[in-house]
Amino acid sequence: MTPRSSWLHRDTTVAEAFERRAERAALLARSSSDAAPLEFAAGLYRAQGKVAEAVVKAAPTGALDHDLEQDRGLLGALDGIVRYARDHGPPGLRADAEGFRDLGRDARVARLIAWWCGPRAGRTDYLARSLLRPYAEAAIAAGATLAPPGERTAAAAITGACTRCGGPPWIGWRRSGAGDEAPQRLLGCAVCGSERHLDRIACAGCGQTEPTKLAVFQTERHAAVRIEACDACLRYVKSIDLTLDARVIPEVDDLCSLALDLWATEQGYERLEPSLAGI
């Protein structure tokens, strides 16, 4: 099936979609025993929402090098995310953001383009992913075609990679099908926010379809969440059942079950793409 931009865009603007994520994160933080990742996410989403507004005004073409060269305030708008990461992120991210601010304009542009032309993975450069997420999401929502990565090495090896931008999936979810349709399994792109369908029995990483190689892990504490792991490539994606709570925003609610990610790591699995918590 053709991938769609985020379902959050269907009745709102891209900037407002980021605000909805922020509000959800802030709400969950108030009742969470580990509020720090959610509080950080709320602030990051708000900073990204402001960048999304600037991107829309700049009429993105989807060719990042061209749009940064034209600028139109885009590079300056990114400073809001950099400042937030420097002031509120974990130590490693704070140091990276401070270093990014110290770079000259050409060096900053070069780093962003280098990440954009690679596999577009947060594991490669968490800060670059955070900076370019609103650009990619706004460009897709505006109907622009994102120029594909120049090097598709890592992305090409991921079955669930986004066909709109080449980015890796960072969260999955399950929802009921319409009418007599079977339940749907979807993946959310960490770069542009697009969603795409994936076969119900297939590894989102390597495409493995042998049931004995595909393991699913759940706990009573997080009944709607499961780890969908592959013993062939030793990678996994976290998936959330949306039929149990219509208020869920997968990439946000993901942060409420980080204990499952830590457990999966201990078992020798690697997440396809880190969450906003960097895990």
Residue by residue, what is the 3-state secondary structure of the chain?
Answer: CCCECCHHHCCCCHHHHHHHHHHHHHHHHCCCCCCHHHHHHHHHHHHHHHHHHHHHHCCCCCCHHHHHHHCCCHHHHHHHHHHHHHHHCCHHHHHHHHHHHHCCHHHHHHHHHHHHCCCCCCCCCHHHHHHHHHHHHHHHHCCCCCCCCCCCHHHHCCCCCCCCCCCCEEEEEEECCCCCCCCEEEEEECCCCCEEECCCCCCCCCCCCCHHHEEEECCCCCCCEEEEEECCCCEEEEEEEHHHCCCCCHHHHHHHHHHHHHHHHHCCCEECCCCCCCC
**Mean pLDDT across the chain, nearest whole number?**
91
Whole-number pLDDT of residue 164: 87
Residue 9 has pLDDT above 70, yes or no: no
Residue 3 has pLDDT above 50, yes or no: no
Whole-number pLDDT of residue 154: 47
Q: What is the mean pLDDT of residues 124-147?
A: 93
Q: What is the mean pLDDT of residues 102-112?
A: 96
* Identity at 66, one-letter amino acid code: H
Distance from C-alpha of 132 to C-alpha of 54, rounded to nearest angstrom = 12
Distance from C-alpha of 242 to C-alpha of 248, rounded to nearest angstrom = 7
Q: Are 204 and 188 in contact (CB under 8 A)?
A: no
Residue 5 has pLDDT above 60, yes or no: no
Residue 150 has pLDDT above 80, yes or no: no
Residue 142 has pLDDT above 50, yes or no: yes
Four-CA torsion 58, 6, 148, 174, nearest 10 degrees: 170
Residue 172 has pLDDT above 70, yes or no: yes
Q: Which domains does the chain have, with CATH numbers?
A: 7-141 (no CATH), 153-271 (3.90.1670.10)
pLDDT in tens, 185-199: 999 999 999 999 988
- Backbone angle region of 162, left / alpha / beta, with phi > 0 → left and psi within -120 to 50 → alpha: beta
Whole-number pLDDT of residue 42: 98
Structure confidence at residue 13 as a pLDDT band (50, 70, 90): very high
Four-CA torsion 37, 39, 45, 48, nearest 10 degrees: -90
Tell me how long the chain is. 279
Whole-number pLDDT of residue 7: 56
pLDDT in tens, 229-243: 999 999 999 999 999
Whole-number pLDDT of residue 235: 97
Q: Residue 198 corresponds to which tokens in the numbers above?
A: 């994936």
Structure confidence at residue 39 as a pLDDT band (50, 70, 90): very high
Structure confidence at residue 183 as a pLDDT band (50, 70, 90): confident
